[in-house]
Amino acid sequence: MSSFPPPPAFKPFNLALIQLGQIGPDKAANLKHARDMIRKAANGEGEGAQGKPDLIVLPRWAKDRFVTLQECFNSPYGHTHFPVYAEPIEFKSGGKYNIEASQSESVKMLSEAAKSEGVWLLGGSIPERDPSNGNIYNTSTVYSPQGELVVTHRKVHLFDIDIPGKITFKESETLTGGSTTNFFDTEFARVGLGICYDVRFPELAMISARQGCQVLIYPGAFNTTTGPLHWELLQRARAIDNQVYFSMCSPARDLTAGYHAWGHSLVVDPMGSKLVEAEDGETILHTRINPKTFNDARAGIPVTTQRRFDVYLDVSKGS
Ligand SMILES: NC(=O)CC(=O)C(=O)O
């Protein structure tokens, strides 16, 4: 069993996903647009709002914020750009992230937004440069309603694929993969984190579920090749095999960009039913997360207590 403290009692909460469009090479304009959209989401603008959201999620930023870079992951050109946009995230002093000392304009904006709007905020992901080793990571940051940076998650599995004639992508040309699983506790749930390609590795979601997460949220940016095939299927699979709420928040599609995001931000319940889904344009989605579905799923189909760890002791060894 998990050695982590028990999760908070799971309570109903309002979740908002921001599927951002209008993302280009001007970082300041992107930050301003994201800030405006956070304000709108916090004020209940968008589809399906049932009051002020408790948790707002932004899409995975890195790919679409640096649209020109998307074209360039397959060429040396991109390698010069990604490091230019990367920001350091100041690490902890006295057990806490020090926002005041942060040199990241994205971190400062997101912290201010969470505090001003009084919401939990999962700030998509940004390229992060670690000053201690120069590595660049694709990193999510999460803020409390007090504006504290409570946890970061570095994308563990890098998106290196090659589907001839369709899409070739190699994040590992410039990025380093993270090496930790991460979650955060709110007053309403324990929320597990991953980023995009991480969803293809069921082990990560299963570990989060065994750490007590009732909700898993992965900022993402699938594309028009893999999106129609796998975006929904993977999320419904991760939701069902762990009996958790599962959500991925995408950027809107921009056909003038080098990388054509799939869009279709989605929230799935623990029975695998879709609660809310976007089209491919810019939008804000709201939904209500209800522990009853979680409890009913686990009571009715009790796989969480039927696992045979005596049979599959260590999947890495093929046992
Ligand atoms: N962009 C990703 O990280 C993943 C993706 O698009 C896919 O798995 O497909």
* Residue 119 counted as domain residue: yes
Pocket test for ligand 1, best of 66, 155, 159 (most atoms within 8 A of CB): 159
* Residue 2 counted as domain residue: no
Q: The domain that contains 167 carries what CATH number?
A: 3.60.110.10
**Residue 201 DSSP code:** -
* Residue 4 counted as domain residue: no
- Does residue 249 have an active-site annotation? no
Instruction: Give the pLDDT confidence score for residue 60 in this predicted structure.
Output: 64
- Does residue 196 have an active-site annotation? yes
* Residue 6 counted as domain residue: no
* Atom in ligand 1 nearest the alpha carbon of residue 223: 6
Per the structure, the complete domain to which residue 301 belongs is given by 13-317
* Residue 66 counted as domain residue: yes
Q: How far apart are CA 253 and CA 21, in angstroms?
A: 7
Residue type, 215: V
Nearest alpha carbon to residue 237 among 278, 188, 195, 204: 204
Segments in the chain below pLDDT 50: 1, 61-80
Residue nearest to atom 8 of ligand 1 (CA): 197
Sign of the alpha-carbon dihedral angle for 278, 16, 255, 141 = negative
pLDDT tens for 116-166 read: 999 999 999 888 889 889 999 988 999 999 999 999 999 999 999 999 999
Instruction: Give the pLDDT confidence score for residue 307 in this predicted structure.
Output: 93
**250: CA distance to ligand 1 center in Å?**
11
- Does residue 105 have an active-site annotation? no
* Residue 1 counted as domain residue: no
Mapped to the 3 state alphabet, what secondary structure does 85-141 carry? HCECCCCEECCEECCCCCCCHHHHHHHHHHHHHCCEEECCEEEEECCCCCCEEEEEE
Residues with CB under 6 A from ligand 1: 159, 196-197, 200, 221-223, 226
As for how many domains the chain has, the answer is 1
Residue nearest to atom 3 of ligand 1 (CA): 197
Residue type, 170: K
Spatial CB neighbours of 226, under 8 Å, sequence gap ≥ 6: 161, 163, 167, 262
* Residue 93 counted as domain residue: yes
**112: CA distance to ligand 1 center in Å?**
30
Instruction: Give the pLDDT confidence score for residue 94 in this predicted structure.
Output: 72
Global pTM value: 0.92
* Residue 5 counted as domain residue: no
Instruction: Give the pLDDT confidence score for residue 81 in this predicted structure.
Output: 52
Instruction: Give the pLDDT confidence score for residue 223 in this predicted structure.
Output: 93
Instruction: Give the pLDDT confidence score for residue 217 in this predicted structure.
Output: 96
**186: CA distance to ligand 1 center in Å?**
28
